[in-house]
Structure formats: C-alpha cells, structure tokens
Amino acid sequence: MRVANFNGGPGALPREVLEEAARDLLDWNGTGMSVMENSHRGPEVQAMAAEAEADFRALLGLNGDWAVIFCQGGASLQFAMIPLNFAGPGGRCDYINTGLWSTKAFKEARICGANPRLAASSEDDDFTHIPEVFDFDPEAKYVYITSNNTVRGTQWSRFPHNAPGPLVADMSSELLSRPLDLRPFGLIYGGAQKNIGPAGLTVVAIRRELADKARLDVPSMLSYPVYIKNQSMYNTPPVWSLYVSGLTFKWLLNTVGGLNNMAALNQAKSDLLYQAIDDSQGYYRGTARPGSRSVMNVTYRLPGEELEKKFKKESQAAGLVGLGGHRSVGGLRASLYNAVTLDDVRRLVDFMAEFQRVNG
C-alpha cells in the first residue's frame, strides 16, 4: 500500500502520472526504448518538450511576451543566474528576506559580485510572517522574493505592486498550486520536485523584455538568452524529469481541470489541517502567524521535543511519512503539495487527534 507522502521535497507525485510513466518505461511512444534513452535531438523528444512547454503556458496563461525554459542545477542555481544576468558587478538589487532560501539567494548575489540590499526582512521575528512594509531602492535592477517558504511555513498572499524593478520570484514550493497574477513579475521559477516532477529540472518563465536586458558576458550555461535561443537544448536536458513534468502538466489540465480547481483543493487540505491545529487547545502550535500561513507547508510544534520524536516515529509506522520539520528548525511539517490528497490529510488529522488523546 502506498503511504501518505508529506515530504517537503522531493514530494508526492500524482498516482496517475507514476502509472503512466511506469507503462512507458521500456517502450516510450512506440520508439522501442525508454524516453531516457532517446536522443534529445530526435523528433520525439523535441515534440515532447514543446508539448510540455505549451501545457505549462496554458496552465499559467502565458502569452508570447514570456519565454519558458527548462534548466538544470535545481532552484539553487537560479540564486546565481539571476544576479549574473541582471545585476552584474556592483549592480544594485533588492531582496526581501523571509527565510532560509531567500537568505541563501541574497548571499549568492553577493558572491556573484552584485550589490544586494534588504528591502524588508522578517528575520527579527524568527521568519514567522511575510513583511508588509518595504524600503525599496529606486535604482534596483530587480526585487527578489521567495513566494512560499517551505522551512517556516509562510506564503505571500499579496505580492508587492510598487517595486522599482520587476519582481523575481523563487516559487519552487508553490508553482502550479494556484493561479497567479503575473503582472508585477519579470521572472518566476521553480524546482520541479515539489509540485511538478522529479528533481533535476527547474522551470523558468521570463519576460522577453527582461531577457533582452541580460548581460552577455556570462557563461553559456548560466545565460538566459542562451537557453531561450536554443529552446533549452543547448546541452542535454534532464529528459526524464522533463517527461514526467509534462505528464503532470497534462494531469493538472485534464484530470484536475486547471489551477483554479487545484487551488480550491489545496485550500481545503490546508484548512482542514490548520483547523485541527487551532482546535487542539495549544497541544499543536502553528509556527507561522495566521495571516502569513502557507497553504503548501504547514509547520507546527508539540509541547516538547520528545513528544515530537514520538509523533514522527508513530506517524511513520502508521503510513504517514515525511512529517519531520526541516533540519535547520526541527518541529513538524506537513507538505500539502498538489499530489497529496484530501484523504491523506484526513488520515493525518485523525492520527493527530488520537495521538493527542493518548499522549496529551
């Protein structure tokens, strides 16, 4: 029996996607071999990549003003690609720090020689909320945010619309979990291993007018214009990750019915779990402020670390896996990515109630 997978990443994949990938493993698309064995220069893989891009565009409503590229290096490589392409040595750029990943991105911009500054930060409040007041540099080339924070369980519900430059967003843990108003954004990206597919692929959507401003003295594999010009095929892409991601795009379009439906389901899942936390009379304690709570990553604590260890051990035995918090903060975390079902969350809520009854 498959477990309920609450891992923070790699996260759960839709069962239908896994079944289709398994059927195709030895003979994909009538080629007599796996998609992993097909040449990325061949017409079959080229068509697969084009279809995946078209479906991704359809999900987010991206028109021709946007380029879509598939990168390697995980989301973390984007920490360097962004300042290298759009800031350069001494280039001014703003960052809003809401946790571990935006902290890392800020540090990487410095390593790349840019001149980043903090327009806002919630670090002094232990990253329990999303800032609402910003001190923007009017000369900033871009403003960088992490839209959903897997470690601290916070998420942007409203994005800044008064930034001096285009918003650039790491959306790794929420991309394709809800519709997006992309008007303030110049670039969004996400590692595949949360809501999209296997690790190894990063999907980037970038406005062409922003890509046209990219610096040209960057290594080819770090250059957005190179990816765009070569349709993400400058070198061999992570074909398997791209293939499975394409299946997930189809699942979102055809089975789920689009991002509005996906968002409603995700909201129902998170509402159920947060209600269980709030109704526990303090036995379970959410770590994010209510107004900044993430729909994707629900972080919470028990009255003591020994109880948390017991909870993780017994929940795993009950087929509820991946409920430990990030190693940097501890505690508990349930990641409710798209492929996590409402029944999975019901199982978790029932387990939590019984655990409290026995151990409270």
Q: Which two tokens stand for residue 38?
A: 């097909």
* Short-list 246, 266, 245, CA closest to 199: 245
The residue from 28, 66, 94, 101 that is catalytic is 101
Q: What is the pLDDT of residue 147?
A: 98
Q: Which fold has domain 258-359?
A: Aspartate Aminotransferase, domain 1 (3.90.1150)
Q: Which two tokens stand for residue 130?
A: 């999303």
Helices 239-250, 43-60: axis angle to 10 degrees equals 40
Q: In the annotation, is 240 catalytic?
A: no
Find where tokens 């430990």 sit: 324
Q: Which two tokens stand for residue 303?
A: 């009255």
Cβ–Cβ < 8 Å for 187, 207:
yes
Buried-exposed string 128-164: b where 16+ CB fall within 10 A, e elsewhere: bbbbeeeebbeebbbbbbbbbbbbbbbbbeebbeebe
CA distance between the termini of the chain: 30
Q: Which two tokens stand for residue 168?
A: 């650039």
Q: What is the pLDDT of residue 170?
A: 98
Q: In the annotation, is 250 catalytic?
A: no
| Three-state DSSP class for residue 172 | coil
Helices 100-111, 74-86: axis angle to 10 degrees equals 40
The residue from 194, 269, 312, 344 that is catalytic is 194
Give pTM, 2 decimals: 0.95
Distance CA 321, CA 315 (A): 7
pLDDT tens digits, the chain, 360 residues: what are they? 789 999 999 999 999 999 999 999 999 899 999 998 888 988 899 999 999 999 999 999 999 999 999 999 999 999 999 999 999 999 999 999 999 999 999 999 999 999 999 999 999 999 999 999 999 999 999 999 999 999 999 999 999 988 999 999 999 999 999 999 999 999 999 999 999 999 999 999 999 999 999 999 999 999 999 999 999 999 999 999 999 999 999 999 999 999 999 999 999 999 999 999 999 999 999 999 999 999 999 999 999 999 999 999 999 999 999 999 988 888 999 999 999 999 999 999 999 999 999 998
The residue from 170, 251, 269, 344 that is catalytic is 170
Q: Which fold has domain 15-255?
A: Aspartate Aminotransferase; domain 2 (3.40.640)
* Start and end residues for every CATH 3.40.640.10 domain found in the chain: 15-255
Q: In the annotation, is 101 catalytic?
A: yes
- The one-letter amino acid at 81: M
DSSP count for the chain of H helices, then E strands: 10, 14
Q: What is the pLDDT of residue 43?
A: 87
